[in-house]
Amino acid sequence: MNTISVSAAILLAIPATSPGQSSFLHQFGYPKINADHTILLTLTNSVVSTLRNYYDLFPVESSQGLMNWVPLVTLVRTNSSNVPLVFSDSESTNLAQRFYRTPTNQLVTPIPRPQGPYAVGTVSRLFSDPSRTNRYNIPTNISFMVQFWFPAEPRAGVLPAAYLNSAIAATWYSYYSHNDLAANSTLFQPAVSHALPDITISTNRAPFPVVLFSHGYQCVRTMDTDVMENLASFGFITVAIDHADAWASVFPSGQIVRGNAPDLPISTGQFSLNIQNRARDVRFVLDELTQLNQQDELFGGRFDLDHVGIMGHSLGGGVVAEVCADDGRFKAGLSLDGAHTNVLALQISQPFLIASGTDANPVMQPFRADFRKLFDQLSQNAYWLELTNSEHFDFVESPWFATSPLPSKIRTATVLRTYAVSFFSKYLKAEDDHFLDGPPAAYPEVEGFLRK
């Protein structure tokens, strides 16, 4: 931790202790006290990484007497930049002295900061469904992991949570090698998210609407962390599930489990079975949220279960269609390049947004065609869009992870962020920003757009 007292203008540094990182990477420059008594802080790195297009977080906390610290601001800059960060502390004008501190070590993340007004917290829970056994090829196992992101009250001394559990980070990114991810596997051992662990939910507008997330086949629940965090920053509680086919999952005991689903390609029967099993997961999780809302220390009274949405990628997008057709508790659905073998047989009445890729992926083409026809079947509050030059994994985390990402890919991820917030705000919060009226001129990436 790097600490500075402005009244005495003395720089105090505490060396970093995290394994594998050098000390004094983050540091304060000499502070400046302006004529209006605001304090101008300068922060920089003594070592600049050769990695490109990632972000380094500088959480800054303040205190009047080195005893009671409070979060002040989190500054962000690209990981390769050597330009100092400058922050003007307007809260210091009437104080006799002011202390500041920031973690010494770099806090590197591949995803941009959430855009909403709330800080974001996160916690993972182990859920157990006694009606089904043999999860992850363990005959007696009935349990699976669920992760929450929520609007939060930040607390001093709490640093961002890991982006992905380090026990599975290297193997996951070696397996999922799309867009240079295998080459970056060493980055994801220490990579962080923007969400803070072990903090409380904001109460100023609780309860909050809920959005569930279903990951792609043989993927992991954190695969759309960017969108999950961003929604939480706008006043949603987001919930992601490790399904039985998850690539890997880590239980609270530290046990690593692997999905018990066959590799692609799979039969139509196996595909349908996975859809049905995942839909059962989703319904079970929503049932559990009802219980948590009644008695849980953290979540009690915080879920607005009259306003629940669901989103999913690939097979998870098919699950979205399945549960919307089957369960009226879900009030809105968003399919991210979804896959479903019999989607045209579904009767969906909820607001539904279909986001579709435009690459020539032969596996996805039949699914995309059927989802386009599904749009034609929907009677109202339906949206369909295509994003220029977008590939299947551009609809989740892939654009942020490449060592040299294409600007068009970053734009795809940014546009999807915006659509998710606009869609769920309109149909779960009755807040219409009119973004869904049609793509603005500033979004030329939206190659096709239909609504009714």
pLDDT in tens, 360-410: 889 999 999 999 999 999 999 999 999 988 999 899 988 887 766 678 888
Matching fold, domains 2-108 and 119-451: no
Nearest to 24 by CA among 97, 102, 109, 128: 102
Q: Are 228 and 240 in contact, with CB atoms under 8 Å apart? A: yes
Reading the block at residue 170, the tokens are 């290297």
Model pTM score: 0.93
In degrees and rounded to multiples of 5, residue 244 shows phi and psi of: -65, -20
Per-position pLDDT tens, the chain of length 452: 777 765 533 333 333 334 334 455 888 988 888 888 889 999 988 766 666 668 889 999 999 888 899 999 999 988 778 889 999 999 888 888 889 999 988 888 989 999 999 999 999 999 999 999 999 999 999 999 999 999 999 999 999 999 988 888 777 766 655 545 545 555 666 789 999 998 999 988 889 999 999 999 999 999 999 999 999 999 999 999 999 999 999 999 999 999 988 887 888 888 899 999 999 999 999 999 999 999 999 999 999 999 999 999 999 999 999 999 999 999 999 999 999 999 999 999 999 999 999 998 899 999 999 999 999 999 999 999 999 889 998 999 888 877 666 788 888 899 999 999 999 999 999 999 999 999 888 888 898 999 99
Q: Are 220 and 316 in contact, with CB atoms under 8 Å apart? A: no
pLDDT value of position 48: 67
In eight-state DSSP terms, residue 265 is S
Q: How many CB atoms lie within 10 A of CB 64?
A: 15
How far apart, in Å, do the first and last CA atoms of the chain sit? 54
Q: Which amino acid is at 392?
A: H
In degrees and rounded to multiples of 5, residue 424 shows phi and psi of: -75, -30
Q: Where are the domains of the chain?
A: 2-108, 119-451
In eight-state DSSP terms, residue 21 is -
Sequence-ordered alpha helix ranges (H) in 330-404:
365-377, 398-401
Cis peptide before 112 (omega within 30 of 0): no
In degrees and rounded to multiples of 5, residue 266 shows phi and psi of: -120, 160
Q: Are 118 and 109 in contact, with CB atoms under 8 Å apart? A: no
Q: Report the alpha-carbon angle 73-107-25, nearest 5.
A: 95
pLDDT in tens, 75-113: 998 877 888 999 999 988 888 888 999 998 888 898 999
- Quickly list DSSP for 202-260: P-SS-SEEEEEEEPPTT--GGGGHHHHHHHHHTT-EEEEE--TT-S-EE-TTS-EE---
Q: Does domain 119-451 have CATH number 3.40.50.1820?
A: yes
Q: How many CB atoms lie within 10 A of CB 251?
A: 16
Q: Which amino acid is at 131?
A: S
CATH number assigned to the domain with residue range 2-108, chosen from the 4 options 3.90.550, 3.90.1530, 2.60.40, 3.40.50:
2.60.40
